[in-house]
Structure 1
Amino acid sequence: MGWIFFTCLAAFSQAWRNALQSKLSTHASVATVTLSRFLFALPLAGLYVYLLYTFQPAPQLEVKHNLVAYVVAASFMQIVATALMVRLFKQKSFAIGAGLAKSEALVAAVLGVVFFGSALTLLGWLGVLIGGIAVLILSGFNLQNFNLKTAALGLACGTCFALTSLWVREASLASALPFPHSAGWVLFWVLSCQTVILSLYLTIKEPQSWRVIRQHLPLILLVSLASCIGSIGWFSAMSLQHVAYVKTLGQIEVFFTILIATMWLKSPPKKRDTLGLILIAIAAILVMVS
């Protein structure tokens, strides 16, 4: 049941990271906000791996071709997913943007079964489907106010996050290391790739962004800290359990998101949120007992 603890930790941390990124997005470009997620998380991830080996010795990581491929693919796809989420923040309110991106649980279930050999129980599938319905309700979906651009961004964002999660799990399994060292190493190398890619991009395409980073350094430090803690939770949970189950339970992030949106971002919840939250609770119970 360790995956449940790590998923809850990840959901809580991600809710704060998204809120902080939403605030930062009013001052910085999409690429800058995306880099803020990784920039200072890398040394924290390195420290995490060091502490793992200090308190629980294990074999060193043996680099293999399939491991490198999964890490690079996951790194690039998470950059794309994060950039799409930042664009969602600019399209709709914070709560709606985060809600639309939660389609990743359902997408991960389908892709996992079709391409990655995952096998979900009947209760598991029911939980994933109910979670998907809850996401639609919480995102404010209705045919009268349907916005094709926002919906497409949300689905694309969820798909990219789903692929990231599936490749992270495959990388963790390919490392052949015991848990939690496998998740720690994958996290460190994914963050390394992402930091290098985005730093090069900003230096070449948006050099002025480094000044923005210096101006908002405290906020960016908080984004990186929340991101690192969240990633440790996600990577650990996905090393132990199917991605679809982890992401469905991870939808409890919406509880934290609504609380943050109400108390910090001054964006009060709507009445439909109650139904959505009840459905998420049911979905979480189903995947935990499946």
Structure 2
Amino acid sequence: MELWIGITLVSAFLQNLRSTFQKHLKKSMGTTGATFVRFGFGMPFALTYLAILHFGLARPLPSINGTFALWAAVGSMAQIGATFLLVHLFSFRNFAVGTAYSRTEPAQAALFALIFVGESVSAGTLLAIAISVSGVMLISVARTTLSPVSIITSIFSKTAGIGLASGALFGLSSVAYRSASLSIAASLPAPDAIMQASFTLVVVIVTQTVTMLIWIILREREELARIAKAWKPAIAVGFVGATASFGWFTAMTLQQAAVVKALAQVEMLFAFASTVFFFKEKINKLELIGCLLIVLGVLSLLAWG
């Protein structure tokens, strides 16, 4: 098994865990606060990973260049916007539809990679992405009332628009992070995917933390008290989120962002499994079909990607 595959599977599991923690935090603070926690409390762990690589394992640090700075900035802001929109979706009663559309991230990442960096994917990979995305969207709306009218209505709903925007920004951030990480390889004695990923993560997460902290102080200062009060679960979100991000950045340094994010759809299977086995909820036909489509998409991706 290729290294990026194992890293992606672990990262998907950790992201599912982080999302569970983050939904819990949304009950005790606003959207901005719950978004900030992912970055602010993840920053110390990201710095720790980089310190271990550099000081503990004597791996050299890469140098920042203009290309890196541009893509890191684009990725940072895009991910803040994407996370904010995704957390905001939890405020809607019918957030499942919006969440489903946010899962179009792999397809949108493939489009952005083609537009901005000229990176194309094979027809087989595109088909695998389409299959897995269809499965994820089917699971997301499986417990809603489906009819021709409701499907058409959902496409033009506010939550669908927010979900698509979130998916687009996540897709853009993925492409930006891969481009940033690859741009600093030449400054190292030899390419080092793990160091490139860790360094990129630190620059990005520091940028995100400082940007959001300034915003909160200027516009939503009351969130600071809520964040401080929820410091224990916030640390869990930070640790799991930073570790997952470290994995994502490494995987996307080794493989195209769209391909990594397509495989990452297995996160939905992890979420679904926890719902079934831990909360003892029954499976309906649409959810079962959705799971099978995800598995088929992932297997197709590994065969054709």
Return the TM-score normalized by structure 1.
0.93
In the alignment, is the contact (CA less than 8 A) between 2:46 and 2:201 conserved in 1?
yes
* Matches of 2:281 and 2:93, distance apart in 1: 12
Would you say 1:152 and 2:161 are equivalent positions? yes
Distance 1:262-1:202 versus aligned 2 partners, 3 A rule: farther
1:1-290 to structure 2, matched below 5 A, reads 1-54=2-55, 56-92=57-93, 98-140=99-141, 142=146, 143-145=148-150, 146-147=153-154, 148-176=157-185, 177=188, 178-262=192-276, 270-289=284-303, 290=305
Higher deviation after alignment, 70-79 or 104-113:
104-113
Unmatched segments (≥5 aa) in structure 2: none
Distance 1:31-1:168 versus aligned 2 partners, 3 A rule: same
Distance 1:92-1:267 versus aligned 2 partners, 3 A rule: farther
Q: SS at the partner of 1:60?
A: coil
Shift of 1:260: 3.6
* Matches of 1:94 and 1:37, distance apart in 2: 20
Shift of 1:267: 6.8
Q: SS at the partner of 1:118?
A: coil
Unmatched segments (≥5 aa) in structure 1: none
User: Deviation per CA, 1:7-36, whole angstroms, max 9, x where unpaired?
Assistant: 111110111111111111122111100001
Amino acid at match of 1:132: V
Amino acid at match of 1:281: V
User: Deviation per CA, 1:33-88, whole angstroms, max 9, x where unpaired?
Assistant: 00010112111011101112245433322111111111111111100000000111
In the alignment, is the contact (CA less than 8 A) between 2:15 and 2:244 conserved in 1?
yes
In the alignment, is the contact (CA less than 8 A) between 1:81 and 1:161 conserved in 2?
yes
Q: SS at the partner of 1:187?
A: helix
Distance 1:205-1:38 versus aligned 2 partners, 3 A rule: same
Q: SS at the partner of 1:153?
A: helix
Q: SS at the partner of 2:118?
A: coil
Distance 1:167-1:125 versus aligned 2 partners, 3 A rule: same
Distance 1:76-1:257 versus aligned 2 partners, 3 A rule: same
Distance 1:267-1:189 versus aligned 2 partners, 3 A rule: farther
In the alignment, is the contact (CA less than 8 A) between 2:98 and 2:164 conserved in 1?
no
Shift of 1:211: 0.8
In the alignment, is the contact (CA less than 8 A) between 1:10 and 1:230 conserved in 2?
yes
User: Deviation per CA, 1:123-157, whole angstroms, max 9, x where unpaired?
Assistant: 21110111221122122175433431111111101
* Matches of 1:165 and 1:60, distance apart in 2: 22
Q: SS at the partner of 2:39?
A: coil
Q: CA RMSD in A?
A: 2.0
Distance 1:90-1:17 versus aligned 2 partners, 3 A rule: same
Shift of 1:4: 0.5
Q: SS at the partner of 2:268?
A: helix
In the alignment, is the contact (CA less than 8 A) between 2:97 and 2:160 conserved in 1?
no
Aligned residues: 290
